[in-house]
Amino acid sequence: MEIDDNPWQIIEFLHVKPGKGPAFVRTKLRNLASGKIVDKTFPSGHTVKDIRIERRPYQYLYQDDSGFHFMNNETFDQVTLPEVLINAPQFLQEGMPVEITFHAEKELPLICELPPFVVLEVTYSEPAVRGDTANSVRKPATLENGYVVTVPSFVDVGTKIKIDTRTGEYIERVKE
């Protein structure tokens, strides 16, 4: 939706009907231009301006001083995005498919979303302490892109693991 000439995405909403007084809608909104998240309450019957958006498949190419470069696989058009429009830039890999959401009337990119999971290789991790298997011991591990994540003690250097791009957390070890 559009508020004050800015595109906003609804993250959460709750329709509240108190025992006394009129109903209202409590929302959590993300400003797609700046990434800022705000809480806003709308009275019952309030209207907002809808905007038409399109999700288009792109492929990540490379990063330089001007930003992150992506290519549309169908039209071969390229677009450059700043880091603030990408939901998890630390997990981008060359050739990775992404979806970029555009404001359809203005042809303005709003947000770039990575796939929900990526597979990365562990490049550094402390060795597991022998015999420490009674409880779920976790340790930090450095991935091939430099990102540090907490993993179970059985994960060693060279192991490929699945990471959730939305939370940045370890999901599972990937069998080859």
Same domain, 30 and 73: no
| CATH code for the domain of 79 | 2.40.50.140
Across the range 21-39, mean pLDDT stands at 87
Which CATH number covers residue 37? 2.30.30.30
Q: Are 109 and 57 part of one and the same domain?
A: yes
Query: Domain range for residue 34?
Result: 2-43
SS3 sequence of the chain: CEECCEEEEEEEEEEECCCCCCCEEEEEEEECCCCCEEEEEEECCCCCECCCEEEEEEEEEEEECCEEEEEECCCCCEEEECHHHECCHHHCCCCCEEEEEEECCCCEEEEEECCCEEEEEEEEECCCCCCCCCCCCEEEEEECCCCEEEEECCCCCCCEEEEECCCCCEEEECCC
pLDDT tens digits, residue range 129-175? 666 555 678 888 999 888 899 998 888 888 999 999 888 899 998 88
Do 123 and 143 sit in the same domain of this protein? Answer: yes
143 within some domain: yes
